[in-house]
Amino acid sequence: MIDTFAQDVLNGLTANNKYLSSKYFYDDNGSRIFQEIMNMPEYYPTNAEFEILSMQSKQIIEALKFIGPFNIVELGAGDGFKTFKLLEYLVSNNVDFHYIPIDISQEAIDMLSTRLKKKLPSLKIHPKVGDYFKILKENRKSDYPSLLLFLGGNIGNYKKEEAIDLLGLIHKNMKIGDKLLIGVDLKKNPIIIHNAYYDKHGITKRFNLNLLLRINRELGADFKIDDFDFYCHYNPITGDVKSYIISLTKQTVYIKTLDKHITFDYNELIWTELSKKYSPDEISNLAKASHFKPITNFLDCKHYFADSLWE
């Protein structure tokens, strides 16, 4: 039996235009490299969203118009660094709420819970590991309204139709009165975006090439990393950042688990990631297309990033 990773790698590398999904970037090494990306000064989304949640927690909570206790359900809580500002605001104002962080990584959730219990001892936290939709379905039965958090701009990794499908699924698992706060990266001066993804330190390159190392390790392949490079390109009209791995020679790679030889032409590309940027109008359209009603956008002072509130 071959697992989904193996199957997806096979599909992607035998396609006419080769591709691999960015969701496979995040093995332990990849997650560490992503932390490095978030710490680069050029990678503005981290600071922008941190600023929004640091400066505008009060406005965000007021816009919910919740009366009485509520839940905050976070999809993909990760290390919870940004959410901390929101939680801190609520705890210090004695607001009655339960925090339900969800992640697929047990390790990430354990670290998050330990840190939060130390820093905010009175926080009511119910960490969950597993499938978002199963947990959302459970939460739908709660007597209290919920604020769902989908932060960090992960929605940018999805093409338009995929994003609408995913958001529609989230919508289906919410009840009337629930709200969604979703992080969306905004269109801006293309040079700023270019520098955030085509970084001069080569960290994003390492992040992409790590996917080949992962295939070597998990599927017994023999990719020679030095024979591949990285390229990415921002199209300010469509808002798409597209990332690619380039084969620097004509070469053949063997993948043992798949018992498959893959040939690469000189300069052949593997498409690895889409990081889509939106205008405020496009955010509203995305909300409506997935059955939400946009309420308001919370922006950082440079207008680089939006936390958009929908119901």
Closest by CA to 181, choosing from 41, 300, 83, is 83
The DSSP H or E segment spanning 109 is helix 106-119
DSSP string, 36-77: HHHHSTT-HHHHHHHHHHHHSHHHHHHHH---S-EEEEEET-
Q: Kindly state whether residue 108 participates in binding ligand AVJ, applying the rule CB under 6 A.
A: no
Q: Which of 154, 247, 290, 297 binds ligand AVJ (CB under 6 A)?
A: 154
- Closer to ligand AVJ by CB, 218 or 240: give it: 240
Q: Does 166 bind ligand AVJ (CB under 6 A)?
A: no
Size of site (CB under 6 A) for ligand AVJ:
11
Q: Per CB under 6 A, which region of 89-97, 150-158, 164-172, 263-271 contacts ligand AVJ?
A: 150-158
User: Kind of pairing, strands 97-103 and 70-75?
Assistant: parallel
Q: Does residue 78 touch ligand AVJ according to CB under 6 A?
A: no
**CA–CA gap between residue 176 and residue 264 (Å, rounded):** 51
Angle value at C-alpha 136, between 69 and 142, nearest 5 degrees: 35
Shortest approach of ligand AVJ to residue 4 CB, angstroms? Answer: 20
Nearer to ligand AVJ, 150 or 197 (CB): 197
Query: Would you say 37 or 112 has its CB closer to ligand AVJ?
Result: 37
Verify binding: residue 19, ligand AVJ, rule CB under 6 A. Answer: no
CB of 98 to ligand AVJ, least distance (A): 26
> For residues 1 and 24, what is the distance between their CA atoms, to the nearest angstrom?
19
Q: Which is nearer to ligand AVJ, 139 or 204 (CB)?
A: 204
Dihedral sign for Cα atoms in the order 236, 242, 248, 250? negative
Residue from 21, 47, 54, 157 touching ligand AVJ (CB under 6 A): that is: 157
Q: Which of 71, 173, 204, 210 binds ligand AVJ (CB under 6 A)?
A: 204
CB 180 within 8 A of CB 145: no
- Residue closest to ligand AVJ, measured at CB: 275
- Helix 44-55 and helix 83-92, axial crossing angle in degrees, nearest 10: 10
Closer of 204 and 290 to ligand AVJ (Cβ): 204
